[in-house]
Amino acid sequence: MVGACLLHIIGYYFVRWSKSFILIISVEREDSSAFYNDVLDRTFANWKQYSLQIVNVHRGQKRRVRGTRDYNMVLIDSYESFVSADLVAHTKNNNHNEYYYIFLKRSDAMLWPVMQQIFEYCWQNHLINCVIQIQTDRGELQLYTYYPFTRWQCGKAQIVRITGLNASGKMSREMLFPSKLKNFYGCPLRVAIWHIPPFMSLSTDAEGNVQLDGGCESRLLKMLSDRYNFSLDLRVFDDDTRGNVFPNGSTTGVLKMLNDRELDFGIGSYHQNALRNSVATSTVNYYQSIISVVMLRSALRLSDSKALIYPFQPNTWLILFVVTIAVILGVYIFRHIRHTTVVKPFTDVFISMLGMPFVHMPPFKELRVFALSWIFFTLIIRSAYLGFLFHIIRSHLLSNPPTDLNTLISRNFGIIVSERVNHIIANISELKQLNHTILQKKPETYTLEYLLNLPPEEGNHVMGISAVDFLQYQIRARRLRDVVKIMPYDLLGFKICIYLAKHSYLSDQFNELLIWVRDSGLIEYWKKTQLDSGYVNGKWQAEDELFDMAELKTAFMAVGIGDVIAILIFLVEVFYHKYFDHDDDNDVLVFIN
């Protein structure tokens, strides 16, 4: 009967869930060894071609047997034999929870206290998915598990019998290994948090108790608490206490407290990285941020001399110069052909560009058309130029900001960075050649504050490096849009998660909800309610574009058409005077507005 039951568990459950599993035999008494040998003989008689690893534990021998231990069948006869199997040594560094199907051979008189010991051991070592099958003295097979959180107690193993058979006499996976963490019944979890807006903002009530006051991760923490019905035992830490990992594997700060089981998890802009993952378990990342560069706008502002030529691009200025010279030469050519005297043509051309009137009316029709086209041309050019110049003066328009990191490096800008962000960007080789100012034991939000407090002559030659979320939040909260500018390119991306102890019982349960929160876009929605993301992507204002030939082609077409018409009229008059009118014409040629 026992052999048939074990074969059913293997064939109907384990083989369907995994490609392989481990069978562990650990017994103390000879009669138990004989019993299990008989059971396995009967079981293997009907064995199919499944991948199976058998581990026979010999008491007193400590030997690590390699293998994937996600699904385990453990055959024991006492609490001591269960401990001798040393299951924890093989899985203590896992980031997920395994499954243990334990068969306990014991007399009825000792079954209950032994099961209690085994389940307490499982709970102490975060083996959350454990079930024990027994055979009573009457031959009845029974299945038990434990619940660590109930209405009556918190963090203690309470034995519960599993009875959920369906109509076919078979149990689903959820019935065989029931989820024990869907309801914590208000039991407290110890949470490490940080005051780090915009991710998490904290306040204290009249009694001095810490309260979650805002931020997307504060909302996430409340959602976890409400969803799984646990209370929050909040522990506030300084930003420099997240913990370091040393080459020998030792840790400090919150990371050490997690592994010492002094905390259940930590949340608050916790950057996910490989070094932390080597000593702690991270949940799925639920938010991805970027490291950006921020600079003072004064470092990018146009000088007075540059502002005067900034409205037009260089090719536009070149064409304007060519057209002006062509007009002046045209006036002199007309004077030479007409044998007339032109009053200050060079001066008249330039004062018309400034909107000032001419002195006299040109005596010839072609010169009048020529003058009108020039006046219309200068009107358009002057209006466009003065309008853009006014915009530059009024809005303190910036010159074209550096478009990439190499431009900043070529200008030899210094770097202001927090100790935390400095670890993230340490592998960017281009930044190593620049002068660093590392803000030791300062929160990441202090980077912008430090930049703002620098003297202008120094602040205009440095750049701050920080997570864009902190920059957006401070710019919005302190109304700094006209003071600083976030560069429109990213240095590096990083992911944010919750950190737990290695092999934490919370990992699978939290990941289930966090995946849903991430995929539903809730984090992004919460972020938009607090951050001024439009400041970076440029949606909050129209981009300033310099005038190019595409915008000024109408003016150039007008002056070109006017010149062509003036030349045609001039040719007609020359032809007329040559063949039909022989009177000399020595009128003075002048431009009049």
Q: How confident is the model at residue 57 (pLDDT cuts 50, 70, 90)?
A: confident
Task: Say how far apart CA 508 and CA 398 lie, in whole Å.
Answer: 50
Nearest to 71 by CA among 134, 127, 23: 23
What value does the mean pLDDT of the chain take? 78
Contact 380, 552 (CB under 8 A): yes
- Evaluate whether residue 289 is within a structural domain: no
Pairing of strands 462-467, 414-418: parallel
Burial 45-59 (b: 16+ CB within 10 A, else e): eeeeeeeeeebebee
Same domain, 150 and 196: no
Alpha carbon 427 to its chain centroid, in Å, reads: 18
Helices (H), 396-418: 405-410
Same domain, 370 and 486: no
Find the mean pLDDT for residues 60-65.
59
Residue 470 CB partners (closer than 8 Å, separation 6+): 197, 198, 444, 445, 447, 448
Higher pLDDT, 45 or 87: 87
Beta-bridged to residue 414, according to DSSP, are: 462
Contact 343, 590 (CB under 8 A): yes
Higher pLDDT, 78 or 305: 78
- Evaluate whether residue 546 is within a structural domain: no
Nearest to 32 by CA among 110, 95, 131: 110
Same domain, 81 and 221: no
Same domain, 16 and 80: yes
Per residue, the 3-state secondary structure of 321-370, as one string, reads HHHHHHHHHHHHHHHHHHCCEECCHHHHHHHHHCCCCCCCCCCCHHHHHH
The region, left, alpha or beta by phi > 0 then psi within -120 to 50, assigned to residue 8 is alpha
- Evaluate whether residue 520 is within a structural domain: no
Q: On the CB side of 236, how many CA atoms lie within 13 Å of its CA?
A: 12
Domain holding 337, by residue range, is: 304-395
- Evaluate whether residue 574 is within a structural domain: no
Contact 364, 570 (CB under 8 A): yes
Same domain, 42 and 116: yes
Find the mean pLDDT for residues 241-270.
91
Last residue within a domain, chosen from 335, 367, 395: 395
Same domain, 388 and 409: no
Same domain, 148 and 230: no
- Kindly report the CATH number assigned to the domain that includes residue 197: 3.40.190.10
- Evaluate whether residue 342 is within a structural domain: yes
Task: Say how far apart CA 474 and CA 496 lie, in whole Å.
Answer: 20
Backbone torsions φ then ψ of 357, nearest 5 degrees: -80, 155
Q: Sign of the CA dihedral 464, 469, 470, 474?
A: positive
Contact 128, 505 (CB under 8 A): yes
Residue 268's SS3 state is strand
Backbone torsions φ then ψ of 29, nearest 5 degrees: -100, 150
Longest dimension (CA), the chain: 143
Higher pLDDT, 78 or 317: 78
Higher pLDDT, 192 or 425: 192
Higher pLDDT, 120 or 444: 120
pLDDT at position 579, please? 61
Same domain, 15 and 153: yes
Q: On the CB side of 331, how many CA atoms lie within 13 Å of its CA?
A: 25
Name the domain count of the chain. 4
pLDDT at position 265, please? 96
For the cut 90, the answer to whether the pLDDT of residue 266 exceeds it is yes
Same domain, 77 and 155: yes
pLDDT at position 1, please? 62
Contact 51, 81 (CB under 8 A): no
Contact 148, 180 (CB under 8 A): yes
Last residue within a domain, chosen from 108, 127, 162: 162
| The total number of residues written for the chain in this structure | 593
Q: How confident is the model at residue 248 (pLDDT cuts 50, 70, 90)?
A: confident
- The radius of gyration computed from the CA coordinates of the chain, to the nearest angstrom, equals 41
Question: CA–CA distance from 495 to each of 30, 115, 249, 291 (Å)?
Answer: 54, 42, 23, 11
pLDDT at position 341, please? 58
Same domain, 341 and 194: no
- Kindly report the CATH number assigned to the domain that includes residue 130: 3.40.50.2300
Token digits of residue 564 = 């062509």
pLDDT at position 267, please? 95
pLDDT at position 325, please? 81
Amino acid at 197: P
pLDDT at position 21, please? 78
Task: Say how far apart CA 349 and CA 375 lie, in whole Å.
Answer: 9
268-290 pLDDT tens trace? 989 898 889 999 999 999 998 88
Q: Report long-range pairs for 271-279 (Cβ below 8 Å, ≥24 apart).
A: 271/420, 271/424, 271/494, 271/495, 271/496, 272/494, 272/495, 272/496, 272/497, 273/424, 273/494, 275/245, 276/243, 276/245, 276/499, 277/95, 278/245, 278/249, 279/245, 279/249, 279/251, 279/255, 279/502
- Given the structure tokens 């003036």, which residue do they identify? 566
Q: How many CB atoms lie within 10 A of CB 402?
A: 20
- Evaluate whether residue 563 is within a structural domain: no
Task: Say how far apart CA 591 and CA 373 lie, in whole Å.
Answer: 12
Token digits of residue 507 = 């990992």
Same domain, 124 and 252: no
For the cut 60, the answer to whether the pLDDT of residue 170 exceeds it is no
Q: How confident is the model at residue 533 (pLDDT cuts 50, 70, 90)?
A: low
- Evaluate whether residue 175 is within a structural domain: no
Question: CA–CA distance from 94 to each of 89, 280, 411 (Å)?
Answer: 10, 9, 48
pTM: 0.73
Q: How confident is the model at residue 361 (pLDDT cuts 50, 70, 90)?
A: low
Token digits of residue 396 = 């303190």
For the cut 80, the answer to whether the pLDDT of residue 525 exceeds it is yes
| Residue 184: exposure state from Cβ atoms within 10 A (0-12, 13-18, ≥19) | buried
pLDDT at position 556, please? 59
Contact 17, 173 (CB under 8 A): yes
Same domain, 411 and 438: yes
Last residue within a domain, chosen from 251, 283, 315: 283
Question: CA–CA distance from 363 to each of 38, 566, 587 (Å)?
Answer: 127, 13, 7
Residue 150 CB partners (closer than 8 Å, separation 6+): 158, 185
Find the mean pLDDT for residues 161-167.
62
87-132 pLDDT tens trace? 888 888 888 888 999 999 888 888 899 999 999 999 999 999 999 9
For the cut 70, the answer to whether the pLDDT of residue 491 exceeds it is yes
pLDDT at position 344, please? 59
Nearest to 101 by CA among 136, 38, 143, 57: 143
pLDDT at position 345, please? 64
Q: Return the top range by mean pLDDT from 149-158, 201-210, 405-414.
A: 149-158
- Evaluate whether residue 589 is within a structural domain: no
For the cut 50, the answer to whether the pLDDT of residue 337 exceeds it is yes
Contact 290, 467 (CB under 8 A): yes
